[in-house]
Amino acid sequence: MNDPKAFRFVGSRSIRPDGVEKVTGRAQYGADLSLPGMLTGKIVRSTRAHARIRHIDVTQAMSLPGVLAVITGDDFPDLERRMLPMGEQQMDVRDFIDNTMARGKVLYHGHAVAAVAAVSPDIAAQAAELIKVEYEPLPVVMDLDAALAPQATLLHEDQVTLTMQGPVENPVPTNVAFYMPLKKGDIDTGFAAAEVVLENTYTTKTVHQGYIEPHACVADAKQGGRIDIWCSTQGPFLVRTLTALALEKPVSDIKVTPSEIGGGFGGKLAVYLEPVAALLSMRSGRPVKLVMSREEVLRATGPTSATRTRVKVGAKKDGTLTAVQAKLEFEAGAFKGSPVVPAVMTMLAAYELDHVLVEGYDIVVNKPKVAAYRAPGAPQAAFAIESILDELAGELGIDPIDLRLKNAVSEGSMAVYGPQFKAIGLKEALQAVKTHPVYADPVGPNQGRGVALGFWFNVGMQSSAAVRLNENGSATVITGNPDIGGSRASMALMAAEELGIPAEQVQAVVGNTETIGYCDVTGGSRTTFATGMAVIEAARDAVARLCERAALTWDVPVEQVSWAHGQAIHIAGDHAPLSLDEITANAIHTGGPIAGAAQVNAQDAGPGFGVQCARVQVDPETGYTRVIGYVAAQDVGKAIHPSYVEGQLQGGVAQGIGWTLNEEYIYDADGVLLNAGFLDYRVPVASDLPMIDTILVEVPHPSHPYGVRGVGETPIVPPLAAMANAIAAASGVRMRDLPISPPRLYQAITAQGA
C-alpha cells in the first residue's frame, strides 16, 4: 500500500483525455458512424404484450424495391437451454435469442418480431409496415399479483422454480423462476428478544436507466465470414460473445469496436441490436446500421424490476436490532433474471445482525426483460429496510443516524451474506453526514430531512491493459473498457503515478476486441478498481523494462536501479539519473520499443458504503415535493480523480431522486406502455435539483494497490429511502409505495387529514 500522502498525480483533477472531442461535438457515439453503401435497418416490434405468433408474412416487404434483407426469429439458431457464464452474470442462451427476436410467442409489447434492411430510412419504415404478423392474443400478466395468482397465465409453460441447488421439490410450471433464501441464526429467537417489532410492505415500480443515447450499432459482414461491429456498449467483449452465439460463429470472426457511449448505468450490458444488424448485413452483403428510437428504448430495453418487499424488524428499546425477516418479490420482465439475488444479499449488509431470514423470488411478467441498473436490486431492498428503520427510529425516539451507528458494521464484522469486512468507512460516513448542514440545520415549516444508507459489493473480474512508451517519453495506455464516466482520466492518472510523468503526457485509449486483451464489462463499479489495477501493473511492467534499459546503459546489474519521479536512479549514485524521455529516446540502442502489459482477474473488490441525507419541502395543497438540500457521503477508498468520483455520487443521487418522485412505467390493461417518451417518463431536469453536496470518505481498500473501491453504484442505493424519510418528516405521511408523485402524496395527506 502506498502512503496516501505520497501520491503525486493521483487525487488531482486533471482534464480528461477525451474531453476536447466531447465538448466540441467530434466524439463519435453509437449512431455517429456511417459507412459507404450502408443500409438502414429497422426492427418490427410486437403490438401485443402476450400472444402466440401464428404467422409472419414478409413477402410484401421483401418485394419492395430497395429492401435487401428481411429476417425473423426463425433465422436465429434453436439453441439448447443452458446458462452461459458471462463474467459474474449468467444468461440463459435460449432466453437471449428469444429476447433478441421472438419465436413462437411475443412476451411484451415492443418485443422484436422481425427486422428489415433497406437503402433508406423511408423504405425501411415502409417495409416494416408491410410485414404482417398474425397474433393469437393471450391474457397479459402485468404485475406480481397476476403472476402469482392461482391459475395464473404462464409466460413460459416449461418454467419451474429453481433454487441454487436446482429445481424445487415437486416442480410445477409457474411464473416464479427462482427462489433464494438467506439465513443466519434463528429469527424466532431474534424476535423473541425484541422489545419492539415493526412490519410493513414497500413497493417500487418499473423504472428505466434513462441513458440519453439510444442503443445504436453498425455491423459490416465481410465476404469470407468476418464481421466488424461498431456499437455503443458497456461490454464489447460481451457483444462479441453473444453475437457469436446468435450467429453460431467463432468469436475470432467478430471484431467489436466500442464507440463512445452515451450513458448505460447497466442498461448497455444487455445486447439487443448487434446480432440483428450482423445477420441483416450477412444477408444483404452491405453494412447495416440499427438505431433505436427513444420509444423503442423505453418499450423494449431492460428497465429494472418493479418490486414488493415485506419486511419485519425487531429491536431493543435502545435501538439494538435483534432480528430482520424479509420477503422480496421482484419482477423479472419477460424472462427470468431479476436482480433479486443481489437485493437479498445487500439488504442487510450494513448491519450487525445475528438473526436473519431474507427470501427472494424472481417472477416473470409481460414487460421487457429487466437489465442491470446501477447496483441492481439494492435500491429497492434498501428502500424497504432504510424506510422501516426510519420508522423504528421514530418509534423509539432515537436519532436515525444514531440508530444506524448503533447497528452498523465495521472492520471485522461478518456480513450477513458471508464474508468478513476489512477496513470500511461506514461509521465515518455516518458521522460526516451527522455534522453536515443538510442534516444538522434546523428545518422550516413543511420541511423535513431524511437519512438512509446504502451498500454495494462492487466487483473485480478480468481486465487487460497495455502501456506503450513513445520516443519522447510520453505514454499511451490501452484498456478494453468503454469510458462511460471519465475513466480515461483515471487510467491516465494511475499510469502517470507509476511512470512518474504528468497525466497530460499519458494518452488513455479504449481499444477494440482485437487491439487489447479480454476485458470484462464496464459495470459493477469495477473499471477504476480492476482495470485500474491492470493499468498499474502494466505501468509497473513498463517501469521494470525502463530500469533494465537504464541498467544496460550504465552497464550495471538491474538490481542496482530503482525508479522514482519519472527517473531511473542508480542506487549507489555512481550515475546521474536517467529520465523516462532520455531512456525512450535512446531505446533503439538498448533493445527497441518499450512497453508494459498486464492481465488480471481482480478479486476482492472493496465494498462501498454510502450515507445520504435529503432535505425536502412539501406543498401540502398539491403534494409537490421540492428537494432543497442533499448531501451524499461515501467511503470511496481512494478517489483517483475526485471530480469524477463526486460526479458518480451526484449522478446516482439524481437518478434516485427521480426514481422516488416521478419515474414509473405506466401500462394500460393490455400491457401497452403509455409513457414511452421523456415527456411522461419524467427524469429530473436541472431546475428540479439543488446542488448535491458530496463528502468523500477515504478509507483505503487493502486489496488494491492505491486503496481504490468502486464508487459508481452505491450512490443510487440510499436516495429512495432518504427521500421517503424526508417526505415523511415534512408531510407527516409515511409513503411506502414509489413513486411518491404529487397525486399520490396529495391523496395520502388528504386521507390522513380526513
Partner 1 sequence: MSEVQYSAPANLADAVALLAGGGSPAVLAGGTDLLVQLRGGRPEPSAFIDIKRIPELTAIRMAGDVVSIGAAVPAAQITEHPELGAVFPGVVEALGLIGSTQIQGRATPGGNLCNASPAADSVPAMVASGAICRVAGPAGERRIPVEQFVTGPGKTVLRAGEFLVCLELPRPAAGTADAYLRFIPRTEMDIAVAGAAVSLTLDAGGVCTAARVAIGAVAPTVLLVPDAADALIGSRLEDNALNEAGAAASAIARPIDDKRGTVAYRKAVVGVLTRRAAKIAYQRAQGGAA
Partner 2 sequence: MPVIHLPAELRSLADGQARVELPGERIRDLLAALYERFPDLEKPISNRMAVAIDGTIVNHPLNERLSERSEVHVLTRIAGG
Partner 3 sequence: MSRNHVSTTVNGEPVEFLCDTSQSLLSVLRDELGLIGTKEGCSTGDCGACSITLDGRLVCSCLVLGVEAQDRSVGTVEGVADHQVLHPLQQKFLEHAALQCGICTPGLIVAAKALLEKNPDPSEEEVRYWLAGNLCRCTGYDKIIRAVLDAAATLR
Torsion on CA atoms 31, 34, 40, 42, rounded to nearest 10: -20
**The three three-digit cell numbers of residue 207, written as one number:** 423504472
For 252-287, b where at least 16 C-beta lie within 10 A, e where not — what string? ebbbbbbbbbbbbbbbbbbbbbbbbbbbbbbbbebb
Q: Is 262 in the site for partner 3 (CB under 8 A)?
A: yes
CA angle 62, 282, 297 (to 5 degrees): 75
Which option in partner 1, partner 2, partner 3, none does residue 461 bind, with CB closer than 5 to 8 A by kind?
partner 2
Between residues 264 and 314, which has the closer beta carbon with respect to partner 3? 264
Nearest to 163 by CA among 151, 155, 171: 171
- In this chain, which of 19, 502, 620, 732 binds partner 3, going by CB under 8 A? 19
Number of residues interacting with partner 1: please give it, by CB under 8 A.
24
- Cα separation, 691 vs 653, whole angstroms: 11
* Segment lying near partner 2 (by CB under 8 A), choices 85-93, 540-548, 565-573, 666-674: 85-93
* Segment lying near partner 3 (by CB under 8 A), choices 198-206, 220-228, 530-538, 649-657: 649-657
Between residues 133 and 683, which has the closer beta carbon with respect to partner 2? 683
Q: Is 128 in the site for partner 1 (CB under 8 A)?
A: no
What strands lie across the sheet with 461-469, from one edge to the other?
A: 506-510, 475-479, 461-469, 595-602
Which option in partner 2, partner 1, partner 3, none does residue 83 bind, with CB closer than 5 to 8 A by kind?
partner 2
Q: Is 644 in the site for partner 3 (CB under 8 A)?
A: yes
Q: What would you report as the CA-atom Rg of the chain, rounded to the nearest whole angstrom?
A: 27
DSSP state string for 80-96: PP-EEEETTEEEEHHHH
Q: How far is the CB of 729 from partner 1 (least distance, A)?
A: 21
Between residues 75 and 713, which has the closer beta carbon with respect to partner 2? 713
- Cα separation, 488 vs 503, whole angstroms: 10
String of contacts with partner 2 for each residue 441-480, x by CB under 8 A: ---------------xxxxxx-------------------
Q: Is 629 in the site for partner 1 (CB under 8 A)?
A: no
* Segment lying near partner 3 (by CB under 8 A), choices 24-32, 46-54, 306-314, 410-418: 24-32
Q: Is 685 in the site for partner 3 (CB under 8 A)?
A: yes
Between residues 211 and 706, which has the closer beta carbon with respect to partner 3? 211
Parallel, antiparallel, or unpaired for β 216-221 and 227-231?
antiparallel
- Cα separation, 634 vs 542, whole angstroms: 34
Torsion on CA atoms 647, 202, 139, 335, rounded to nearest 10: 50
Residue 188: count other Cβ atoms within 10 Å of its Cβ.
Answer: 12
> Containing H/E element for 47?
none
16 DSSP 8-state letter? P
Q: Is 624 in the site for partner 1 (CB under 8 A)?
A: yes
Which option in partner 3, partner 1, partner 2, none does residue 621 bind, with CB closer than 5 to 8 A by kind?
partner 1
CB 306 within 8 A of CB 380: no
- Cα separation, 432 vs 727, whole angstroms: 22
- In this chain, which of 113, 182, 345, 654 binds partner 3, going by CB under 8 A? 654
Nearest to 415 by CA among 66, 182, 216, 140: 182
- Cα separation, 170 vs 210, whole angstroms: 41
Residue 451: count other Cβ atoms within 10 Å of its Cβ.
Answer: 29
**The three three-digit cell numbers of residue 518, written as one number:** 479480454
Helix (H, G, I), strand (E, B) or coil at 249: coil
Q: Is 337 in the site for partner 2 (CB under 8 A)?
A: no
- Cα separation, 723 vs 717, whole angstroms: 11
* Segment lying near partner 2 (by CB under 8 A), choices 60-68, 258-266, 380-388, 634-642: 258-266
String of contacts with partner 2 for each residue 194-213, x by CB under 8 A: ---------------x----
* Segment lying near partner 1 (by CB under 8 A), choices 166-174, 186-194, 213-221, 615-623: 615-623
> Containing H/E element for 36?
none
Q: Is 621 in the site for partner 1 (CB under 8 A)?
A: yes
Q: Is 739 in the site for partner 3 (CB under 8 A)?
A: no
Q: Is 189 in the site for partner 2 (CB under 8 A)?
A: no
The site for partner 3 (CB under 8 A) is made up of 13, 15-16, 18-20, 22-29, 31-32, 34, 122, 209-214, 260-265, 291, 293-294, 484-486, 641, 643-644, 646-648, 650-655, 677-679, 683-689, 691-692
Interacting residues toward partner 1 by CB under 8 A: 122, 621-624, 661-662, 666, 674-675, 678-680, 682, 684-685, 687-688, 741-743, 746-747, 750
Q: Which residues bind partner 2 (CB under 8 A)?
A: 83, 85, 87-90, 163-166, 180-184, 209, 264-267, 269, 341-342, 345, 372-376, 417-422, 456-461, 523-526, 601, 603-605, 703, 710, 713
